[in-house]
Amino acid sequence: MVEFCPKCNNIMLPKEGILKCVVCGFESSLENNKDKYELSEKIESKSQDVTVIENVNTLPSIRIECPSCGNMEAYWWLQQTRCADEPETRFYKCKKCSHTWREYD
């Protein structure tokens, strides 16, 4: 059961034995409905799966320094890892040591 503030019509949350409006601060007694309210927080864990390309021989290459071995040539590809309105993430894979790293815009 959700209670709404009689003054501003926003949600009221239980706090220390009372219902309190999150906007205007109006308070109401919680004694009559004490067992009906429970405050919980939902935390979503987002996992970000990144596809690492194994067969890189067909990918374009670029002259960039590998942070692992210092080699100056790597394969590169773009992948959308964030929201659609954000730019793609650029991935690099060293031609010498196969170290893979990413770069954001």
Give the model confidence (pLDDT) of 70-104 as tens digits. Answer: 999 999 998 888 788 888 899 999 999 989 999 88
The verdict on whether 105 is a catalytic residue reads no
Model pLDDT, residue 84: 81
The model's pLDDT over 4-50, given as tens digits with 9 standing for 90+, comes to 888 888 888 877 778 888 888 888 877 655 555 565 666 676 666 66
Fold for domain 61-103?
N-terminal domain of TfIIb (2.20.25)
Per-residue pLDDT at 96: 93
Measured CA to CA, the distance from residue 17 to residue 7 in angstroms comes to 20
Instruction: Write down the domain spans for the chain.
Output: 1-35, 61-103
- Concerning whether 85 is annotated as a catalytic residue, the answer is yes
pLDDT the model gives residue 92? 93
93 closest CA partner among 102, 84, 85: 102
DSSP string, 4-57: E-TTT--EEEEETTEEEETTT--EEE-STTGGG-------PPPP---PPPS--T
CB burial readout 67-77, b (16+ within 10 A) else e: eeeeeeebbeb
- With CA atoms as reference, report the closest residue to 17 among 27, 26, 7: 27
8 is in an annotated binding site: yes
- The pLDDT score that the predictor gives to residue 21 is 85
Tell me which of 65, 86, 88, 103 is the catalytic residue: 86
Query: Would the pTM count as exceeding 0.75?
Result: no
Residue among 31, 35, 38, 85 flagged as catalytic: 85
Q: What is the pLDDT of residue 25?
A: 85
Closest to 105 measured CA to CA, from 84, 83, 90: 90
